[in-house]
């Protein structure tokens, strides 16, 4: 375990030093949270299938990066149960206050809010089994820094999921090829590619895992 954690820190350090093109970005959403709660979203995204592919189960520790209203946070919390944990991370403290109220109302004490920064999600080291960025990656102004900060927070074999849509970067979407290039350059390897999360085929769902392997 110690050698694996050391390998992750070395990979994160290397990723932080390796030039990675910075993609065009969209302004992080800061509006009405009801936009995330549209009826039928569970079915359109097939969120239960998403969690299956991320290997989220009872007792898992999950991170919802850019949690917004906590839409995915609450679903993951129900999946992991009382023995699991879900980190709801966001850079907007008002959104985190909303999530805390939601967790209390829904009696989901396994939800823990984390106030990150645009460069560092500030998740605990070696803590996360699965992490999802749901329509968030295109808003990362400094993906290299974020990915370098994420690596040490992941447990051996952890899964990083990206759901986004093809776009120019500044239109709340980003080309799939750019996402894959940036994340693999930052010390991850692609282990899954799916397109079922939206019927029009514009969305993609990518799964990565740390490239460092346990010795």
pLDDT tens string 57-103:
999 999 999 999 999 999 999 999 999 999 999 999 999 999 999 99
93 falls within a domain: yes
pTM of the model: 0.84
Q: Which structural domain range is residue 66 located in?
A: 2-25+39-210
129 falls within a domain: yes
Token pair belonging to 172: 């709340």
CATH code of 184's domain: 3.40.50.150
DSSP state of 144: H
Count how many domains the chain has: 1
pLDDT digits (tens, 9 = 90+) for 39-56: 888 999 999 999 999 999
Helix (H) or strand (E) holding 89: strand 85-90
Scan for tokens 């694996």, then name that residue.
4
Separation of alpha carbons 129 and 147, rounded Å: 16
34 falls within a domain: no
HSE-CB at 20 with a 13 A cutoff on CA atoms is: 25
Token pair belonging to 90: 């966001």
Longest dimension (CA), the chain: 47
């Amino acid at each position: 375990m110690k050698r694996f954690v050391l390998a992750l820190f070395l990979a994160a350090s290397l990723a932080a030093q390796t030039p990675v093109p910075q993609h065009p970005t969209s302004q992080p959403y800061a509006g009405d949270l009801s936009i995330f709660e549209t009826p039928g979203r569970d079915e359109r995204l097939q969120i239960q299938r998403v969690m299956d592919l991320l290997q989220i189960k009872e007792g898992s520790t999950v991170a919802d990066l850019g949690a917004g209203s906590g839409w995915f946070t609450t679903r993951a919390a129900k999946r992991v149960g009382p023995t699991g944990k879900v980190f709801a991370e966001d850079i907007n403290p008002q959104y985190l206050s909303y999530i805390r109220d939601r967790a209390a109302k829904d009696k989901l004490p396994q939800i823990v809010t984390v106030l990150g920064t645009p460069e560092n999600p500030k998740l605990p080291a070696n803590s996360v089994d699965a992490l999802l960025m749901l329509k968030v990656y295109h808003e990362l102004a400094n993906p290299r820094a974020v990915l370098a900060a994420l690596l040490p927070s992941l447990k051996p074999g952890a899964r990083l999921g990206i759901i986004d849509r093809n776009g120019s970067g500044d239109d709340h979407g980003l080309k799939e090829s750019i996402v894959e290039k940036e994340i693999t350059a930052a010390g991850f390897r692609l282990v899954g590619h799916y397109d079922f999360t939206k019927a029009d085929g514009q969305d993609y769902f990518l799964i990565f895992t740390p490239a460092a392997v346990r010795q």
